[in-house]
Amino acid sequence: MLKLNAVKLEKIWGYELWLASTHQIACQDDFKEICRGDYPLLVKVIQANDKLSIQVHPDDDCAVKLEGAGNRGKTECWYVLDAEENSKIVYGIKNGFSKEVLAKAISENKLEQYLEFVNVKKGDFIYIPAGTVHAICSGLRLLEVQQSCDLTYRIYDWGRGREVHLEKALAVIKCEKMTPVSQFAGEFNCKYFSLKKIDVNGGWSMLAPEGDFPAAVQLLFVISCEKAVIRTSDEKAGKQLSPEDIYAVLPGEKITVEGKASIMKITAS
């Protein structure tokens, strides 16, 4: 078991904490070493003090087509850790609008009328498959689980002057039915990752299943805790938990949490 140390990346709108990463932009060498290679997921905490750009990510096929062999797409999800009152996200585009209509709206700075704005609150879960137009608005702190990819195509940046990528963005947008935003149901599975929320009140143990590295390495993210410790089977005292700690658990390792805590278990599919 390895406690991972976050890498902080300052942004124009706030900051990101890269909690579990073997991506070249902010690689945690000790994590990459125990994974025995590149981990297929990237886990972050996002603190949005201002609006992020309106953006979209490519799927696996488009990533290779537009950026070259060896690239992967970016399907992601968010779990809302904290939210100011009336916090919102952009979550898809309104039904019935073609890419041609969107391109015209972007050129005329009229895109907002075609966007779906959704209110979110603490504990909500949002699934964002590649190709979804989206943005995080201000006043939100999120846990983000995604494919290990940093390909982002900006559509609109609220006049901040950063580069936009309209041609690539329009090439990868998918206008599909969205999964409704709701409180996290306790478990989620998709093609790329699985999440399970574990509420510990006293004690909980897990034997990580055997599997091939690096994907078989599991992650435990601490949502909240109260006088809780985590230990392996060969430890007596254990390590004190704090909110937003994250631990990498190796295949075949037995982990015990004692005390009171809410933990998100993250697994690569």
User: Would you please indicate which residues are annotated as catalytic (active-site) residues?
Assistant: 154
User: Are the CB atoms for 117 and 89 separated by under 8 Å?
Assistant: yes
Report the run of H or E that residue 229 belongs to, with start and end: strand 218-232
* 3-class SS shares of the chain: helix, strand, coil, % to 5: 15, 45, 40
Contact 131, 172 (CB under 8 A): yes
Q: Which amino acid is at 57?
A: H
Tokens read off for 63: 């990533």
Q: Tell me how far apart the alpha carbons of residues 58 and 64 are, in angstroms, rounded to a whole number.
A: 9
For the purposes of burial, counting CB atoms within 10 Å of the CB of 263, is it exposed (0-12), middle (13-18) or buried (19 or more)? buried
Query: Do the Cβ atoms of 192 and 41 come closer than 8 Å?
Result: yes
Q: Give residues with Cβ within 8 angstroms of 201, minimum separation 6.
A: 260
